[in-house]
Amino acid sequence: MLTTRAPAKINLTLHVLGRREDGYHALESLVAFSGAGDTLSFTPGDALSLEISGPTSSAAGAGDDNLVLRAARRLAEEISGLRLGRFRLEKRLPVAAGVGGGSSDAAAALRLLAKANHLAPDDPRIVEVARAVGSDVPVCLDPRARMMRGAGETLGQPIRLPLLPAVLLNPGAPVATGPVFAALGLQPGALRAGAAHADIAARPSADELLAALAKGRNDLEDAACLQAPVIVDALAMLRGARGSRLARMSGSGATCFALFSTRREAVRAASVIRAQHPGWWVKTAVLR
């Protein structure tokens, strides 16, 4: 049995530059990953199958539309004789939450299939399948902080983040990505005004990174808040937490995050939020 993590993807920034002629939105995003997330195991065998368990498994979907199975089937179409088998997914991340849970699961499946079939992780066929399965899957293949551009197909070099303690918070409201992007009202070929993304050094200090992030934004935040107003409450709580240096929504929501100077501050903030909202998904993390 082979096992790997499928960590949460956090969009520290998410700029929408416009909409391309092919219908995809042109993005610019600094992406980081948490240490925690889902766990995917793979046992080689004759038949392809997927078993899902874990606290958020009921919302994950075990049918053919699950991204783990879609990625495996797509890779089998590309590579004749690919060895398949049984996947077991321990689902801990919230679903439809802006943390790329399904995309990270699909990327984990491709990594496991690559290992089981003695393929290089950056085999062009694996990268092409990742792009075909979902726009966030390529950046999740090698889950390290980096810039992501275009529709997710253009990736920058890994960025060595400083110690970045964080609180991740999801108030339990699933947010559909399509309507959030549609609310921007961009037609194919349209450009969107907004300040350019600040440059991020390969090894920024904490102060340098926070200064760059403060100049950034998530252009989907307003649209997501209209779809799920509880996001406004989540952001207010994170911004008001003692020691919070920056709070923002990730992806198309509803997961939000706050960055802190120390792990102790993050743990304390998470404890306070859990006490006030025991039904919310609240985790501490160190982003990388």
- The DSSP letter of residue 14 is B
Q: Are 248 and 221 in contact (CB under 8 A)?
A: yes
69: nearest Cα among 111, 118, 105: 105
Residue 3 bridge partners (DSSP)? 41
The CA–CA distances, whole Å, from 203 to 9, 180, 287 equal 19, 33, 14
Q: Which of 38, 91, 105, 136 is catalytic?
A: 136
Answer yes or no: 222 catalytic. Answer: no
| Backbone torsions φ then ψ of 270, nearest 5 degrees | -60, -40
Q: Which of 9, 38, 91, 219 is catalytic?
A: 9
Residues ≥6 apart with Cβ < 8 Å to 264? none
Q: Are 107 and 5 in contact (CB under 8 A)?
A: no
| Backbone torsions φ then ψ of 271, nearest 5 degrees | -65, -40
Q: Position 149: which residue type?
A: R
Three-state DSSP state, 89? strand
Answer yes or no: 9 catalytic. Answer: yes
Please state whether the peptide bond connecting residue 254 to the residue before it is cis, i.e. omega within 30 degrees of 0: yes
Active site residues: 9, 136
